[in-house]
Amino acid sequence: MTLKKIVVIGPESTGKSTLSRQLADALGTQWVPEYAREYLEQLARPYEEADLLQIAKGQLRSEDEQAMKAGTLLVCDTDLQVVRVWSEHRYDRCHKWILEAIARRRYDLYLLTNIDVAWEEDPLREHREHSQRHYFYNIYRDIVQQSGLPWADISGGQKERLERALEAIRNNT
């Protein structure tokens, strides 16, 4: 059977990692943590544009490693679209390698996490203002709408989010 890849995407502090873990547990499969967190936690300086290419490569490497262990479903806590959005937002451009990798990678479903949850402080997060969260949510919504893939808006409390995500997976994979 073919591996189906589900991407949890959305702005900062919208519960992507929590939902990804919960989905993997509920579905009995693997999930791919956001590599940027691991990378940035070990970086002894502010990140620079070149770091985004390393983050992108690490994300795909992690995804490929977890895909080897997964059964029929793999849950990805982000994809390279997020790296592209950050790069374009901060540097007004994105590395060609990242754009080419986005064009080559195939996924089966996007789960877009809404901004209807409280912001949680974290030294790696940058955009806590509601207007910025809304701005990034709209960017990610445009990405999933234009992807040609099925997608679902995931909102509500943790339990409701998990239920909505599982329903979207059942209906679209």
Work out the average pLDDT over 125-130: 60
Sort 147 into a burial class: Cβ within 10 Å, 0-12 / 13-18 / 19+.
Answer: middle
pLDDT at 123 over 70: no
Range of the domain at 113: 4-172
Dmax over CA atoms of the chain, in Å, equals 44
pLDDT value at residue 4: 96
Q: Which residue has the higher pLDDT, 23 or 12?
A: 23
pLDDT at 147 over 70: yes
Work out the average pLDDT over 113-120: 78
Beta strands in 10-108 (DSSP E): 30-32, 73-77
pLDDT value at residue 122: 54
pLDDT at 118 over 70: no
H/E segment holding residue 4: strand 4-9
pLDDT value at residue 45: 86
Summarize pLDDT for 58-115 with one digit per residue, the tens: 999 999 999 999 989 999 999 999 999 999 999 999 999 999 999 999 999 999 999 9
pTM for the predicted model, two decimal places? 0.92
Summarize pLDDT for 19-49 with one digit per residue, the tens: 999 999 999 999 999 999 889 888 888 889 9
CATH number at residue 140: 3.40.50.300
Q: How many domains does the chain have?
A: 1
- Per-residue pLDDT band for 125 (boundaries 50, 70, 90) equals very low
